[in-house]
Amino acid sequence: MDRLLFLGVGTIASAVRRALPGLPAVGTTRTAPDQRFRAISPIAAHDVMAIRLAAQGANVVVSFPPDGSSDRAWSELVTGATSIAYLSSTAVYPSTGVVTECSNVGGSGERAALRLAAEQLWLDAGASVVRLPAFYGLTTGLHVSLARGTFRMPNSGSNIVSRVHEDDAARFVCAALRAPPRSLLLAGDDKPCPVVEVVHFVSALFGLALPVSVAGEQIPLSLRASRTVDNRVTKVSHAIQLTYPTYREGYQAIYEQRHRPTEA
């Protein structure tokens, strides 16, 4: 790898940038560049010529949500890329059961349909696809929503959720950039588990109140499934080693980083 182009600069794109700090990097933005662009040179999202030029010989990471039009337009601009990784979601799978690389897709609703349509456009362009579960990190995740009081326990919280720390998600993305074109990678940590288990751990660790429970239509869409992502084949096939194999190591690291004494 010698250059990076980020089509969309969010949490995982920023983590990939940290994982590959020595490479020149540019990324698209639809607004004025913010702190995410301290280590990424900005390109206006509407600047077709700049995107096409930046894609030549670059490793491209596609991480913007599908909107029904941008994927088709931008996938046609990166024909000269060295490799492409498209960041998708495990929400394209059925809402219950164990997910492997051989599982059929079957997510319900418009969001899943948009994702699958976007995946196909990028596969046609030669991208490898990384399907990500819920991810968390220093500034995003359960510890943040609990502290804000916005998290609601889905019923008893017995449904299984897979997750991955943002830095480990970046490892899957970097592996996708090295993988043969049109590879499929399933991201996730080694311990999918009930929501309630993680909530109790994070609440105790950060000293936060337990959330109220809700049912029915009050449950957020992202918490209605009970889906186990089996990461074993992807990890072995692409020699991926997780720094945070379970939520315990991941949230403990976040806690320690947030409470690390600052130098005078």
* Predicted pLDDT at 264: 46
Among residues 162, 66, 50, 146, the alpha carbon closest in space to that of 114 is found at 66
Q: What is the CATH number of domain 4-258?
A: 3.40.50.720
Phi-psi region of 55 (alpha: psi -120 to 50; beta: other; left: phi over 0): alpha
Distances (CA, A) of 111 to 70, 108, 157: 15, 8, 23
Residue positions counted in the chain? 264
Q: Which amino acid is at 75?
A: S
Average pLDDT, the chain: 95
| Predicted TM-score of the model (pTM) | 0.95
Interval 96-145: pLDDT, tens: 999 999 999 987 778 889 999 999 999 999 999 999 999 999 999 999 99
**Per-residue model confidence as pLDDT tens digits over 188-228:** 999 999 999 999 999 999 999 999 999 998 998 888 899 99
**Left, alpha or beta for 109 (phi > 0: left; psi -120 to 50: alpha)?**
left
For residues 142 and 203, give the distance between their C-alpha atoms in angstroms, rounded to a whole number: 9
Gap between the Cα atoms of 195 and 157, Å rounded:
5
Q: Where are the domains of the chain?
A: 4-258
